[in-house]
């Protein structure tokens, strides 16, 4: 019973992290876009990617799924929100925007939230597979690790 309680807290932390990443990322994503230097978009993607990687590390595939579901639903709900006077949180294309990134920052943010997480999930799976393969090699040939380290030190 204590394990299930602990697991629930882990998922709650993942949900909070996803919400925080999307709120901060939404506030940041247009920074620098008018100058065609999308530093805000870059930081926003880094934040989402880091959160995704941490959720995978904590709870595996289910952690990644929860993080992706919450972040994607929230960012798209922000895109549909229209405040008083027509204010929006994620601006679409407009003639008022003059540079590539100022015109496309909103769309890049909306779709990029999903793309970044998919890339993190794929990278995590590749790294995990490589680590497993190395572990199997070391089990088959325990001297291989010693030989590899001797070869590395000899080449230096």
pLDDT digits (tens, 9 = 90+) for 18-75: 999 999 999 999 898 889 889 999 999 999 999 999 999 999 999 999 999 999 999 9
Please report whether residue 129 resides in a domain.
Answer: no
Q: How far is CA 147 from CA 101, 122, 132, in A?
A: 51, 31, 19
Whether 15 maps to a domain, the answer reads yes
Say if 24 falls within a structural domain. yes
- Give the range of the structural domain holding residue 22, as residue numbers without chain letter: 2-117
Residue 132 lies in a domain: no
Q: How far apart are CA 93 and CA 97, in angstroms?
A: 7
- Domain-located, residue 130: no
Q: pLDDT digits over 84-130, tens only?
A: 877 777 777 666 677 888 888 889 999 999 999 999 999 999 998 99
Residue 26 resides in a domain = yes
Indicate the number of domains in the chain.
1
Any domain includes 39: yes
Q: Let me know: does 78 contact 89? Beta carbons within 8 Å.
A: yes
Could you tell me the pTM of the whole model?
Answer: 0.78
Q: Would residue 110 count as lying in a domain? A: yes
Q: What are phi and psi of 88, to 5 degrees?
A: -125, 155
């Amino acid at each position: 019973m204590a394990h299930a309680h602990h697991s629930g807290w882990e998922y709650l932390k993942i949900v909070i992290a996803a919400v925080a990443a999307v709120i901060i990322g939404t506030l940041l994503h247009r920074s620098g876009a008018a100058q065609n230097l999308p530093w805000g978009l870059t930081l926003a993607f880094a934040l989402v990617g880091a959160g995704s990687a941490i959720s995978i590390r904590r709870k595996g595939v289910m952690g990644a799924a929860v993080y992706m579901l919450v972040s994607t639903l929230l960012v798209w709900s922000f895109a549909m929100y229209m405040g008083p006077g027509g204010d929006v949180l994620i601006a679409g294309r407009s003639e008022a925007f003059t540079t590539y990134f100022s015109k496309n920052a909103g769309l890049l943010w909306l779709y990029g939230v999903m793309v970044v997480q998919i890339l993190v999930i794929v990278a995590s799976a590749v790294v995990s597979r490589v680590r497993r393969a190395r572990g199997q090699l070391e089990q088959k040939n325990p001297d291989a690790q010693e030989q590899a380290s001797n070869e590395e030190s000899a080449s230096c």
